[in-house]
Structure formats: C-alpha cells, structure tokens
Amino acid sequence: MSIQLVLRSGFWIGVYFAVVMAPLVAMLIGSIPPGRGFWREFAVGIGFAGLSMMGLQFFLTGRFKNITAPYGIDVVYHFHRAISLIAFFLILLHAVIIFAVSPGTLVLLHPASAPWWMVAGLFGLLAFGVVIATSLYRIKLGLLYERWRVIHGYVSVAGVGLAMAHVVGVGYYAQGPVKRGLWIALAVSWVLALVYVRAVKPWMMSRRPYRIEEIAREHGSSWTLTLTPDGHGGMKFNPGQFAWLTIGRPPFSIREHPFSFSSSAMEPDRIRITIKELGDFTSRIREVAPGTRAYLDGPYGSFTIDRYAAVGYVFIAGGVGITPVMSILRTMADRHDARPALLIYGSRTWADATFREKLEGLRARLHLRIVHVLEEPPEEWRGECGRITAELLARQLPENRMERDYFICGPEPMQKAVKEALDRLGLPMEHVQSESFNFV
C-alpha cells in the first residue's frame, strides 16, 4: 500500500475517533449539573458515545469513495457491523446503569405517564434493537434482501432521530451555545449524509444510465450481462473492483446489488458483470431482456493488483469468486503484462467451473498456469480433488512463493480455510488480499 493511502487511512481513523469523542469533551465545557454521581455521569458519557457512533454509520454505509478507498469497502462494511454492535451495547448499558443507580426512574418506562423525551429514548433503543436483530438473523427470519434494506434504512433513521430527541428533551449537556452547537452540527451532518446517499448520488447516477446489450449463459448457473453506456463514456475501474447494479428501476430505488466486474478494465465502455443464480434477485437474472436500462454505482473495492507491486501473483478462487479474478486476468492480457500468474480455482464439479474455456484462451496471452480443484470430480479426472488445503498449496505454489502477492475470493468458509493454510505455509499475511461478497 502506498504512503498516500496509509496517510489517508490514518486521517479518517483520526476523524472517526474525534467525532465519537466530541460529545464527551463537550460534557466538560461549562457548568456540570450538581449531585449526579460518577455512575450517572458515566452512563451519560457512554450513551453519547454510542449515539455518535450510530450516527456515523450513515457515513460508513454511504459508500463515500474518499472514506472507503484506503481500506476497501468490504473492510469498511465489516467495521460497520462490528462497531454497530458496540454502539448498541453502549446505548443499552447507558439505560441499564441509569436505572440501576436510580431505581426510581423505572417509573419513566411507562409510556402513558412518561415524559415525551423518555418515550423517545425508549423507542429509539427498541429501534436499534430491531436493526441489530434483523441484521444478525436476516436469513433465519426469512427476510428478503430488499425487504431487509427497507427495514434497516428507515428504522435506523428513526432510531437516531428518536435518540437525538431524547438527548434534547433531557436537556443535560445539551444546553449552552457550544454543546447545543455540537449536537446541531452532528445532526446536520447525519442529515446531509442521508440526503447525499438517497437523493444526490441517485440523481448523479440517473444522468449516466446503461443499457443491457447482451445476456450470455455461463457454466455454473451463471450469466454475464454486457452493459454499454447510454450517452456517456462509461466507467473507469481497476481490475477486480465491483459496483452496485440497479436493473429496470430508477436509481432512487433501493433494489441494488453489489457485483464484481468480469471484464477488462481496458474496456470502460463495454462492462461485463457475471452473476450466479444464488438468491431471490439473482435467480431471475436470466429473465432480463436486452435493452433494459440499468445503473451502476461504483467502482468500489481494493481487491485489485493495481494497488500492489509484485513480481507475480497467485489467485485462489472458489465458485463465483472467479469473477473479479477474471477481470484481473483479462486486464493483464490487454496490458500485455508478462508477470507470472497462478490460478487455483475450486469448483464443486467440472460443470460448475465458470469461464473454464475462456480461462484456457487466456493461457496464450499470459504467463498463466491454471489448477482446477474439483470437490466431485468425474471418474476420468486426473487433477486435484477435494478442498484447497495446505497440502495442495504446498504442491502447487511456485518456488518463489514468498515473492508473490496472493488474492483470495470465494465463500467465507473457503477464504478462512485458505488463509489458515497459507499461514501454515509461512506466507506473510501482508501479501494476502481477500474480498468478501457478504455485506449484510
């Protein structure tokens, strides 16, 4: 990673902690309400921190490229999930401590007699609980992705709004020009982030539409969509990146899904996206008709060779994880990149090996060796079988393995197993990059 990216990474981390700590610092400014005790003040402090962290989620999930670029958006989304749990715990702990040190305040839980600001706080806490529960147990609850996004988006906004109303209604540490100005600034920034994500960005996307030129069947129940720009020059991206795709609907709708590019980055005016039939949306992808209007929000992602300099590469893909790797290999071929590359590609069966003929075609244009690994091989198969293990990697990795950069993409269990295998072989993890498709 370049020095510039490291500095940008440190800058945004500093900004994040500064915003989270700002309400705590503001508590020390001006007069302090008398006779409240340490634990009550501690509860207020962690409640403020939790609320500030919740409000910042609008920026973390807003796909602001300046924020996501140093880390990769998948890392930002993983951080979003982890920090949301911490923020919810802090807000919940805030309420528990308040009621524990002042049992008399329990009467304020009754909505019929409680002041409005207490009702707002209670329902705000319940809203955050709904957001957390539906995110952690979406699949078990049977929530479709689009329905979950509606719940997640609107209930999150309601939770933050109710929590802010609670802070203003209680009045402690929200009085005076400095403290009031801080909370106003935080609230305005959260609203502006929402306006940008839900209004400004979709408006910008609407001015750069695409048309589905072709839909082609691939092996492994996958389909490749070819998109051509409608009235503009297309999208420049780095090989291995992805975008959020909206098909047949205006960009203001929330029915968008992230997919990797499978085409060469040298063809920004002819973008290919390969989609495997896995979920409620992807199972209908074959029904998309040529000529359908589409929109792209991107590019995103740090899973690209353009961020790293190496003498050669090892790509380890499983299932549909071959898609970004295909984009990288096609780009290397178009760039006449002579660096050696090894592809270890795991599939359940030979019929599931997406792009297998196209990969063979790339051998003539690249210094490329391909190793297919089949979980259920045919009787005549003479190649590697089973899972991608440390023993398999020890057999197949080149002698100069320490000098290569490694890119892993596939199901999360596969990624975890491969990383552990590479670690057993002594590969330094700073040379290992991975990308997860699970943003929920």
Question: pLDDT of 1-15, one tens digit each?
Answer: 567 777 888 888 898
Domain boundaries of the chain, sorted by first residue: 3-205, 210-300, 310-435
pLDDT (tens digit per residue) in 187-242: 899 999 989 988 999 999 999 999 999 999 999 899 999 999 999 999 999 999 99
The model's pTM:
0.85
Could you say which DSSP state residue 236 is in?
A: -
SS in 3 state form for 71-127? CCHHHHHHHHHHHHHHHHHHHHHHHHHHHHHCHHHHHHHCCCCCCHHHHHHHHHHHH
Backbone phi, then psi, for 228, in 5-degree steps?
A: -120, 140
Asked whether 183 and 174 are in contact (CB, 8 A), the reply is yes
Q: Does domain 3-205 have CATH number 1.20.120?
A: yes
Alpha carbon 139 to chain centroid, angstroms: 18
Q: State the virtual CA torsion across 31, 32, 34, 36 in degrees, nearest 10.
A: 170
Looking at 64-68, 263-267, 337-341, 366-370, which range is the least confident one? 64-68
Looking at 70-84, 98-112, 327-341, which range is the least confident one? 98-112
Q: What is the CATH number of domain 310-435?
A: 3.40.50.80
Task: Report, at the CATH architecture level, how domain 210-300 is classified.
Answer: Beta Barrel (2.40)
Bridge partners of 244? Answer: 258, 297
What pLDDT is recorded for position 343?
A: 97
Give yes or no for a cis peptide into 299 (omega within 30° of 0).
yes
- Helix, coil or strand: residue 186: helix
